Chains A and B, each alone.
Chain A
Amino acid sequence: MTQVAPSHLQTSNVFEDMLVVDTDVHVHESPGELAPYCDMPWRVALENIADRPETYLDIPSFSPGVSDGSYQAKFPTAHEGARMVWTKEQMRTELNQLDVDLGLLFPDHLLKLPVLTQTEYAAAIARAYNRWLVDKWTSQKDGLLGLIVACTHDPQDAAKEIAKYADHPDMVGVYLPCAGLDPLWGNPKYHPIFEAAQYHELPVLLHSVTVTHPVFPFNNHGFDTELARHTTSHTFSIMSNLVDMVTRGTFTRFPRLKVGVSEAGISWMPWLMMRMDKEYLERRRDVPFLREKPSHYLKKVYICTQPIEEPDDLADLVKVMELYDGEDTTMFASDWPHHDFDHPMKFAQVPFTDEVRRKVMGENALRFLNVDSTGRKL
């Protein structure tokens, strides 16, 4: 019999004195919740569907389509894949139990905002969500910070929303929806959004979700299973948006804009940097506005960790981060309460140095969001 020594963990409760900023948690909005905050005539439509049942992010006329594997057989399971957080009190309690200090709020249903086809309706829902969020959810005092949702259907309206909430103490950034998005975020039609965000010194965060939709990269109906669709949707969406943004000059047109990406894991970033730099050797003429190779711009992108990959040897995660120079840009995210959330304790096991762990668990997020350790805007 041999006792196996712990790998590197010398003390437990690593996070006891460490600030933990969770850059991706999800509120649960519903048509009934948003209706009172919604402009007419769209308020009537939300009231009309207030009692529609949902399985998981799939209310018709609000978040159409499926995001819960409903394109295949559904066998019984106890995996709690449809957890929802309905109030800020519930969120604060549950984040406490995850040892999280500050939480950055994303929506649930509005993760699929781009799949709505009706421009004015989508813009109205976005405006209603922003009003509702600051009224019911955000609270710097309680460590719940909000993101302004940018409606992709109407970038001018989105820019107005950014201006409207830019000085709100609880709204610290802009959420850029990616699920089912067409065109991708590099398209010049979105420049009003980036202009507003850069002007008001608010960072932007791209966030996707799994959908099946007739646009790249969501035309995933050819896959047999949700495992295949979920493997590809988030990550291919984030990668293709970054490719579009680099190759259309978003990073050079808006040099002071801080960009972050969510819920795609981290292990793809070294590949994307290397691949784009290789392409640049041959096709610089395609991107004459770039002054540096593509990875130069990608290294400025902040990257949220969830769903963090789980290699057998967690030291591989340290190597991955080194490959994309991520020590100062990688930010912990749990994705609470979603089905594939990451508990912060997973990061206690990754053999970072203490300094890097502090950065990943909180300090990088403070810099990205430009807030202090209490969530107050600087």
Chain B
Amino acid sequence: MSARPSRQVNDRLRVREEDEAYFVVLENDDADWVVAFGKAPDFAAREWATNMAESYNERYDDPRMDAVKMSAPPPPRG
């Protein structure tokens, strides 16, 4: 293992619309999709996709906010 900063996704995200779904893709690689939100009458696919991309981009430029691992054992009690 080495100490090198990595990101959940190493690029900003954007949304690409296709006939069947909204794809969240890397900003600089349209073919590199991360999540697909399928189009359906009862599902707000565009909103989900937009929310996801904007959530990630919001903190992309601030590495402090880059969530990595959530769990850590608590220190000893008492």
Mark interface residues in A5-16 (1 if CB within 8 Å of B CB, else 0). 011010011101
The interface residues of chain B, by DSSP majority, are classed as: mixed
Within 8 A of A (CB), among B25-63: 30, 44, 46-51, 53-55, 57-62
How many chain A residues touch B (CB < 8 A): the figure is 35
Chain A hits for B53, CB < 8 A: 6
In the complex, A348→B18 CA distance in Å? 26
Q: Which of A83-91, A161-169, A230-238, A255-263 contacts B (4 or more CB under 8 A)?
A: A83-91
Given contacts A2-B18, A314-B51, A345-B58, 8 further A-B contacts (CB under 8 A): A3-B15, A4-B15, A7-B47, A16-B62, A86-B74, A86-B77, A346-B55, A349-B54
Given A12, A32, A33, A84, which contacts B57 in the complex, CB threshold below 8 Å?
A12
Q: Does B5 contact A (CB under 8 A)?
A: no
Given B14, B15, B58, which contacts A13 in the complex, CB threshold below 8 Å?
B58
Q: Does A50 contact B (CB under 8 A)?
A: yes
In the complex, A99→B46 CA distance in Å? 27
Q: Are A312 and B47 interface neighbours, CB within 8 A?
A: yes
Interface-central residue, B12, B44, B55, by most chain A CB under 10 Å: B55
Mark interface residues in B58-77 (1 if CB within 8 Å of A CB, else 0). 11111011010011001101
Contact A312 to B48, CB < 8 A, known contacts A1-B16, A4-B22, A80-B71: yes
Give residues in B with beta carbon < 8 Å to A: 12, 14-18, 22, 30, 44, 46-51, 53-55, 57-62, 64-65, 67, 70-71, 74-75, 77-78
Chain A hits for B58, CB < 8 A: 9, 12-14, 345, 348-349
Q: Does A55 contact B (CB under 8 A)?
A: no
Can you offer 27 A-B residue contacts whose CB atoms are under 8 A? Answer: A2-B17, A3-B14, A4-B14, A4-B17, A4-B22, A7-B47, A7-B50, A9-B54, A12-B12, A13-B59, A28-B74, A30-B77, A32-B78, A33-B78, A50-B78, A83-B71, A86-B74, A90-B75, A97-B64, A97-B65, A98-B65, A99-B65, A313-B44, A345-B59, A348-B58, A349-B51, A349-B55
How many residue pairs link A and B with beta carbons under 8 A? The number is: 92
Q: Does A48 contact B (CB under 8 A)?
A: no
Mark interface residues in A302-315 (1 if CB within 8 Å of B CB, else 0). 00000000001110
In the complex, A16→B74 CA distance in Å? 30
Chain A hits for B47, CB < 8 A: 7, 312-314
Q: Are B78 and A9 interface neighbours, CB within 8 A?
A: no
In the complex, A357→B12 CA distance in Å? 23
Chain B hits for A84, CB < 8 A: 74
Q: Are A1 and B18 interface neighbours, CB within 8 A?
A: yes
In the complex, A345→B53 CA distance in Å? 12
Nearest to A50 among chain B residues (CB) is B78
Contact A4 to B75, CB < 8 A, known contacts A12-B61, A99-B65: no
What's the minimum C-beta distance from A172 to chain B, rounded to whole angstroms? Answer: 26
In the complex, A239→B15 CA distance in Å? 40
Q: Are B70 and A80 interface neighbours, CB within 8 A?
A: yes
Given A4, A30, A50, A80, which contacts B50 in the complex, CB threshold below 8 Å?
A4
Q: Are A4 and B49 interface neighbours, CB within 8 A?
A: yes
Nearest to A31 among chain B residues (CB) is B78
Q: Are A30 and B62 interface neighbours, CB within 8 A?
A: no
Chain B hits for A14, CB < 8 A: 58
Within 8 A of B (CB), among A305-352: 312-314, 343, 345-346, 348-349
Given B16, B22, B54, B67, which contacts A348 in the complex, CB threshold below 8 Å?
B54
Q: Are B16 and A2 interface neighbours, CB within 8 A?
A: yes
Chain B hits for A313, CB < 8 A: 44, 47
In the complex, A188→B70 CA distance in Å? 44
Chain A hits for B16, CB < 8 A: 1-4
